[in-house]
């Protein structure tokens, strides 16, 4: 497995774990969606995400053979462009969908969480698309 | 033919064998690509750019149509 594919897996897993914990805690009422608890949890999750990604990326770089760490080539660039294009489309659709909770009277904090969820889903889309294309060959 | 397989056949595997059993990694290094990309090209899952195709042919001292063939 190339370093770039491992990176996509790392993004997928770390974002799922960290933001899964964040949104899970809010959805289950473990933290109030209105107080500073949410902000603290968000900061904790973001710091956790960065640390996890740094550690796992270093491990991936060390464990990947030299031929898997070559500079990005044309196929990998194509995969990156296609996946980001798909992620952008998903993000645009989800941002447009924000009008729905906006008209249902949700608070500003709720709307910020919905927007954050949109970004997270777009990032996950990019990671999944990359993994699928790496697995399929292109 | 596999529905996802591109209509371009190639002789890379045979040419690698004929050139001292060159590995995919060695070919990848010579043309500035990753081993995974060479494997994808060889398996007919990825169609390389014209420049990459010429680079591959150049490594084997072959013409482009000796390496790649269009299949209807």
Nearest Cβ partner for B46 among A68, A71, A75:
A75
- The interface pTM score, or ipTM, of the predicted complex is 0.82
Q: Do the chains contact at A137 and B28, CB–CB below 8 Å? A: no
Residues, chain B: 72
Nearest Cβ partner for B36 among A2, A71, A74:
A2
| Angle, vertex CA B46, rays to CA A74 and CA A72, nearest 5 | 20
Judging contacts by C-beta atoms under 8 Å, the chain A residues touching residue B37 are 73-76
Q: What is the pLDDT of residues A36-85, one digit of tens each?
A: 788 888 999 999 999 999 999 999 888 877 766 667 889 999 999 999 99
Nearest Cβ partner for B52 among A68, A71, A74:
A74
Sign of the four-CA dihedral B14, B18, B21, B27: negative
The CATH number that applies at residue B18 is 1.10.260
Judging contacts by C-beta atoms under 8 Å, the chain A residues touching residue B34 are 2, 67-68, 70, 73, 75-76
Sign of the four-CA dihedral B17, B22, B23, B24: negative
Residues ≥6 apart with Cβ < 8 Å to B24: B16, B35, B38, B39, B42
Q: How many domains does chain B have?
A: 1
Q: What is the pLDDT of residues B22-45, one digit of tens each?
A: 999 999 989 988 888 999 999 999
B72 found inside a domain: no
B21 found inside a domain: yes
Taking the whole predicted model, whether its pTM rises above 0.90 is answered as no
> What is the span of the domain harbouring residue B42?
10-60
B47 found inside a domain: yes
């Amino acid at each position: 497995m190339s370093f770039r594919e491992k990176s996509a897996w790392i993004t997928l897993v770390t974002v799922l774990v960290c933001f899964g914990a964040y949104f899970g805690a809010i959805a289950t009422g473990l933290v109030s969606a209105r107080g500073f608890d949410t902000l603290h949890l968000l900061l904790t999750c973001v710091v956790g995400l960065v640390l996890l990604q740094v550690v796992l990326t270093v491990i991936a770089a060390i464990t990947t053979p030299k031929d898997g760490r070559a500079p990005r080539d044309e196929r990998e660039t194509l995969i990156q462009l296609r996946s980001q294009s798909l992620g952008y489309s998903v993000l645009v659709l989800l941002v447009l969908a924000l009008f729905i909770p906006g008209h249902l009277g949700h608070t500003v904090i709720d709307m910020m969480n919905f927007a954050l969820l949109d970004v997270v889903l777009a990032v996950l889309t990019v990671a999944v698309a990359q993994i699928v294309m790496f697995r399929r060959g292109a | 033919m596999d529905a996802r397989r591109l209509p371009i056949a190639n002789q890379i595997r045979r040419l690698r064998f004929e050139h001292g059993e060159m590995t995919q990694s060695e070919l990848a290094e010579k043309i500035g690509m990753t081993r995974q990309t060479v494997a994808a090209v060889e398996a007919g899952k990825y169609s390389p750019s014209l420049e990459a195709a010429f680079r591959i042919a150049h490594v084997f001292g072959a013409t482009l149509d000796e390496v790649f063939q269009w299949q209807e």
